[in-house]
């Protein structure tokens, strides 16, 4: 009783405020202090949520054989991460396992270990100075084998344009449009060379290259062989076609037999006309050069794909005094043929031969289409050179095939 009255007296005297009135300010002050202490933590938590990567999307990588999923995101503004950690789970709730990391400022990651058909859920964790910020989880993503490689669209456009030009000119030729191709001296000389062999009573040696039928130069060579065989049969000249490759041997036999039949001289064809020697490059060369020296053909044809043996064959032929016509698209062997042969078909002249010799409108049309395509490519190339020189690689990039 006394204490209470004493406190009332003290309170009335103003020395200390009454307890009830003192409590509220104290509580307020305490709350303020506590709030001030807690503010950074909650602000941090609040801040971390806003610093999480945004717009996280996971999708199948287009244009591949499956097994890859691409995760993209946007960096939160004002929150540069020191690294991004990409995590994934097979259901949306977890557990999430890390599948890789991406460097700062990146916005894309490719998960190369995602088997096709299984669902995967991704989230991106930004590693920040203050801690980590975890993004929203994506919806289920499935990797799939695609039917088309998007990164090769440029190549597809070029291929289709090329094919369109060729087919277009073939159709034009079929409808009767006259098409001109320039004189190719090596091809014009074939008849004269075969005539020379007939007059001298010596044979014609035709080497169809050393590669197999999967090399397009060999096929072009057989087209010319058909013509040479037909003319030889017409003139009654002896033809010898030694082969290094077994498939080429089989195809050359058919070609020559057919040509002799077309010329109306099937009786002239002998089994030895087209023969197989051996698969070894230099053993074949030794056999052919031996034949050149012993049998001294009047005319040598070296048409097709050749490697190191080109100079041995043509130089040996030179010593026997034969007239020599060569044709190849192997750039390293062309100089040897040019130095030792009377006529050389360079690169695409070899491929134009069948059209040139037969004068078939359809074949001429394809040559025309190819020439136009080359002209367009030249223009594109020139534009690319100019643009790249002035710092704009747009054409150069577009012409690059991945």
Q: Could you tell me the smallest distance in angstroms from the CB atom of residue 323 to other proteins?
A: 16
- Residue 232 to residue 387: CA distance in whole angstroms: 53
Question: Measured between alpha carbons, how far is 219 from 365 in angstroms, rounded to an integer?
Answer: 19
Instruction: Name the minimum Å distance from CB 168 to other proteins.
Output: 12
Q: Whose Cβ is closer to other proteins: residue 101's or residue 254's?
A: 254
Which residues on adjacent β-strands are paired with residue 71?
58, 109
DSSP labels for 302-361? EES---THHHHHHHHHHHTT-EEEEEE--TTTHHHHHHH-SEEEETHHHHHHHHHHH--H
The residue (of 138 and 310) whose beta carbon lies closer to other proteins is 310
Q: Does 269 help bind other proteins (rule: CB under 8 A)?
A: no
Stretch 227-256 residues interacting with other proteins (CB under 8 A):
243, 246-247, 249-251, 254-255
Q: Which residue has the tokens 């994506």?
A: 138
Q: Count residues contacting other proteins (CB under 8 A)?
A: 85
Instruction: Figure out which of the listed residues 56, 71, 86, 170 binds other proteins, where binding follows CB under 8 A.
Output: 170
Closest CA to 55 of 75, 69, 70: 75
Among 4, 37, 294, 389, binds other proteins (CB under 8 A): 294
Contact yes or no for 68/112 (Cβ under 8 A): yes
**Site membership for other proteins, residue 162 (CB under 8 A):** yes
Q: How far is the CB of 132 from other proteins (least distance, A)?
A: 30
| Interaction residues for other proteins, span 38-77 (CB under 8 A) | 63-66
Which of 399, 373, 401, 402 shows the shortest CA–CA distance to 385?
399
CB 293 within 8 A of CB 318: no
Count of beta carbons in the 10 Å neighbourhood of residue 5:
9
Q: Is 275 in the site for other proteins (CB under 8 A)?
A: yes
Which regions of 90-175 does DSSP assign to beta strands (E)? 97-102, 108-111, 121-127, 132-134
Q: How far is the CB of 264 from other proteins (least distance, A)?
A: 13
- Of 71, 223, 228, 364, the residue at the interface with other proteins (CB under 8 A) is 223
Contact 81, 160 (CB under 8 A): no
Kindly tell me which residue out of 89, 106, 154, 281 binds other proteins, with binding defined by CB under 8 A. 281
Q: Which of residues 111-130 bind other proteins (CB under 8 A)?
A: none
* Interaction residues for other proteins, span 137-156 (CB under 8 A): 145-149, 152, 155-156
Q: Applying CB under 8 A, which of residues 191, 240, 315, 342 lies at the interface with other proteins?
A: 315
Q: Residue 272, interface with other proteins (CB under 8 A)?
A: yes
């Amino acid at each position: 009783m006394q204490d209470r009255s004493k406190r009332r007296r003290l309170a009335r005297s103003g020395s200390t405020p009454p307890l009830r009135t003192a409590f509220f300010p104290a509580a307020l002050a305490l709350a303020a202090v506590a709030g001030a202490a807690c503010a950074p933590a909650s602000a941090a938590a609040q801040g971390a949520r806003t610093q999480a990567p945004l717009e996280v999307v996971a999708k199948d990588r287009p244009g591949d054989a499956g097994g890859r999923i691409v995760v993209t995101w946007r960096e939160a503004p004002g929150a540069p991460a020191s690294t991004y950690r990409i995590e994934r789970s097979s259901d949306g709730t977890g557990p999430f396992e890390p599948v890789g990391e991406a460097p700062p400022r990146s916005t894309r990651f490719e998960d190369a270990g995602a088997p096709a058909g299984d669902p995967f859920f991704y989230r991106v964790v930004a590693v920040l100075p203050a801690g980590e910020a975890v993004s929203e989880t994506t919806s289920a993503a499935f990797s799939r084998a695609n039917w088309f490689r998007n990164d090769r669209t440029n190549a597809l456009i070029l291929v289709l344009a090329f094919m369109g030009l060729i087919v277009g000119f073939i159709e034009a030729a079929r409808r009767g449009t006259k098409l001109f191709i320039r004189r190719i001296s090596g091809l014009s000389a074939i008849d004269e060379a075969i005539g020379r062999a007939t007059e001298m009573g010596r044979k014609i040696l035709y080497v169809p290259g050393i590669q197999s039928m999967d090399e397009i130069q060999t096929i072009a060579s057989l087209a010319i062989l058909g013509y040479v065989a037909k003319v030889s049969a017409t003139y009654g000249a002896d033809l010898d076609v030694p082969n290094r490759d077994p498939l080429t041997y089989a195809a050359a036999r058919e070609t020559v037999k057919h040509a002799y039949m077309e010329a109306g001289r099937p009786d002239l064809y002998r089994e030895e006309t087209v023969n197989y020697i051996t698969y070894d490059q230099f053993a074949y060369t030794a056999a052919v050069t031996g034949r050149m020296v012993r049998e001294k053909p009047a005319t040598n044809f070296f048409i097709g794909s050749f490697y190191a043996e080109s100079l041995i064959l043509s130089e040996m032929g030179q010593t026997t005094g034969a007239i020599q016509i060569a044709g190849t698209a192997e750039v390293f062997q062309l100089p040897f043929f040019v130095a030792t042969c009377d006529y050389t078909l360079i690169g695409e002249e070899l491929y134009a031969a069948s059209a040139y010799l037969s004068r078939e409108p359809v074949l001429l049309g394809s040559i025309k289409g190819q020439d136009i395509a080359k002209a367009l490519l030249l223009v594109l190339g020139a534009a690319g050179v100019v643009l790249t020189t002035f710092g704009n690689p747009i054409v150069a990039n577009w012409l690059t095939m991945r």
